[in-house]
Amino acid sequence: MAQARGQDGAQQRTTARVVGIAAAAALGGFLFGFDTAVINGAVDAVRGAFGLDAGRIGLAVSCALLGSAAGAWYAGPLADRHGRVRTMQVAAALLIVSALGAGFVVGLWDLVLWRLVGGIGVGVASVIAPAYIAEVSPAEARGRLGSLQQLAIVLGIFAALLCDAWLAGAAGGAAQPLWLGLAAWRWMFLIAAVPAAVYYGIVIGLPESPRHLVAQGRREAAREVLQHVLDLREPTALDAKLGEIEASLRSEYRPTLRDLRGPRAGLLPVVWSGILLSVFQQFVGINVIFYYSSTLWHSVGFSEADAFSITVVTSIVNVLVTLVAIALVDKVGRKPLLVVGSAGMALTLALMALCFAHASGSGAALSLPAPWGMVALVAANLYVVFFGVSWGPMVWVLLGEMFPNRIRAIALAVAAAAQWLANFAITASFPALAELGLSFAYGLYATFALVSLFFVLGAVRETRGVELEAMPG
């Protein structure tokens, strides 16, 4: 009995230790969400400060996403050469420099530069954090610990929007001076350095991935990490685990882009499915809500303070439905949630398009007559519910599962790069589309949501309960 209690206690200590390490690494996801969303509250003020037209403000908002695509693409080789922990430190340092630089910009092009630098950091963090978590987690807890990344992303978005609202409220407006004579929008960028610095400090104390240590020939260092993290004290168990890692590395096939070639437009069907999943996730316009929502609600008659409050509420909704998705994914399956999400997004986006068809005026003078403003607000939040419970987390789950082992790494890199580029296209084009008419913009996103429904029904395989080794190519 005493032995059993001792084993249970050791297991609890191990679990708590691993959860703590995974949560610390998942702060990279928090920075991902924070850095990409923090510009939401600054858009109007930046546009006014530098006299930017729709195309240039779209570039200022979206340029970080090009940096993210580059960071995500090169994160793997960087981590293999220098280690997971060192690479996370690089990501944090880039985000600190980007936040400070963006806070003191004097024009469009230096803002673009610092947003690109931050985007590279975001891209690196978005890839390395989940990889590290997977490599230090015990198999039985890997799924739950891996889900911390998505939860951290939506919490980062929430925190960024809450900070924006607080700073704008304290100054009396995003364009008004706050501390040290700097406008509130500049502090929105500067404050992003705080979580990045915290992340940098925390990851310094994280143990290196035992997989990386073994790959570098540092077997004894890997042994120490396994002892500390997984509480493997028995020499036999330690040697067995190290042997598994060594065997995995010896047998590991390093795929190239050539391995993705197939009969359909030059690529394997499963690769096209992954790319289209990524593209549709962005083409339904979700990041328009998180990057431009304060501007949107302000433009249709809500006060700046109310617009910020609405944006914060929307981000809270996103956090809550992400928790629901995590609870449902292994019970309901991936495909049913995607089907429900696509149908719900198509309906709510179509309703938003209908609402904005009743708008009068244009630009800053745009307004929605009663009751269409409130209907648009409800529809936007329902849209976030449908996205958050389906396409938000499910795409990342599927991308991690759907590819055969031999091409998983390179296929995931291609799909992730496609996602960042699609995000850039939607984010950069929205200001120009909005000038054509918000009804047109949301009607376009509704069309993509409807097409995504037929895509899921016809081309997406359910992966629930399927072993990774059994995934068809």
Rounded to 5 degrees, what are φ and ψ at 177?
-70, 145
Q: What is the rounded distance in angstroms from the CA atom of residue 62 to the CA atom of residue 43? A: 11
Q: What is the rounded distance in angstroms from the CA atom of residue 457 to the CA atom of residue 283? A: 18
* 458 inside domain: yes
User: Among candidates 156, 225, 217, 226, which has minimal Cα distance to 191?
Assistant: 156
The last residue of one of the domains, among 206, 224, 249, is 206
**Average pLDDT for 283-295:** 73
**Average pLDDT for 306-328:** 78
**Average pLDDT for 124-136:** 74
Same domain, 197 and 75: yes
* 151 inside domain: yes
Same domain, 147 and 268: no
Q: Looking at this protein, which amino acid is placed at residue 447?
A: T
Same domain, 37 and 121: yes
Strand-pair partners of 264 = 267
Segment 228-238, tens digit of pLDDT: 666 666 666 66
Report how far apart, in Å, the C-alpha atoms of 216 and of each of 85, 124, 133, 242, 311 are: 14, 21, 19, 13, 46
Q: What is the rounded distance in angstroms from the CA atom of residue 174 to the CA atom of residue 184? A: 5
Q: Is residue 51 left, alpha or beta, with left meaning phi > 0 and alpha meaning psi from -120 to 50?
A: left
| CATH code for the domain of 425 | 1.20.1250.20
Judged against a pLDDT cut of 80, whether residue 379 lies above it is answered with: yes
Judged against a pLDDT cut of 60, whether residue 466 lies above it is answered with: no
Cβ proximity of 108 and 74 under 8 Å: no
DSSP string across 255-267: --GGGG--SBTTB
* 240 inside domain: no
Q: How confident is the model at residue 468 (pLDDT cuts 50, 70, 90)?
A: very low
Judged against a pLDDT cut of 60, whether residue 10 lies above it is answered with: no
Better-predicted residue by pLDDT, 348 or 251? 348
Same domain, 86 and 189: yes
Same domain, 98 and 177: yes
Same domain, 162 and 71: yes
Give how many domains the chain has, as a whole number. 2
Residue 78: domain span:
11-206
Same domain, 168 and 275: no
Same domain, 156 and 289: no
* 243 inside domain: no
The last residue of one of the domains, among 141, 175, 206, is 206
Q: What is the pTM of this model?
A: 0.72
HEC states along 318-360?
Answer: HHHHHHHHHHHHHHHCHHHHHHHHHHHHHHHHHHHHHHHHCCE
**Average pLDDT for 208-222:** 73
Lowest mean pLDDT of 149-153, 173-177, 376-380, 461-465, name the range: 461-465
* 165 inside domain: yes
The last residue of one of the domains, among 163, 188, 206, is 206
- Residue 462 per-residue DSSP state: P
Query: From the CA atom positions of the chain, what is the Rg in Å?
Result: 23
* 396 inside domain: yes
User: Among candidates 157, 439, 165, 201, which has minimal Cα distance to 322?
Assistant: 157
Same domain, 172 and 266: no
Same domain, 302 and 369: yes
**Average pLDDT for 419-423:** 83
**Average pLDDT for 163-175:** 79
The greatest distance separating any two alpha carbons of the chain, rounded to the nearest whole angstrom, comes to 76
**Average pLDDT for 351-371:** 73
* 212 inside domain: no
pLDDT of residue 342: 94
Segment 76-108, tens digit of pLDDT: 777 777 877 888 888 889 989 988 998 888 877
Percent of the chain, pLDDT > 70? 76
Report how far apart, in Å, the C-alpha atoms of 387 and of each of 161, 262, 467 are: 18, 31, 27
Same domain, 303 and 161: no
Better-predicted residue by pLDDT, 7 or 353? 353
pLDDT of residue 464: 65
pLDDT of residue 365: 56
* 168 inside domain: yes
Better-predicted residue by pLDDT, 455 or 38? 455
pLDDT of residue 9: 46
**Average pLDDT for 374-388:** 86
| Cβ-Cβ contacts under 8 Å for 462 (sequence gap 6 or more) | 333, 334, 335
Q: Looking at this protein, which amino acid is placed at residue 393?
A: P
pLDDT of residue 224: 72
Mean pLDDT estimate for the chain: 77
Rounded to 5 degrees, what are φ and ψ at 467?
-65, 145
Q: What is the rounded distance in angstroms from the CA atom of residue 153 to the CA atom of residue 290? A: 12
Same domain, 194 and 320: no
pLDDT of residue 338: 92
Q: How confident is the model at residue 362 (pLDDT cuts 50, 70, 90)?
A: low
Cβ proximity of 427 and 58 under 8 Å: yes
Judged against a pLDDT cut of 80, whether residue 286 lies above it is answered with: yes
The token duo for 264 is 């359909």
**Average pLDDT for 144-162:** 76
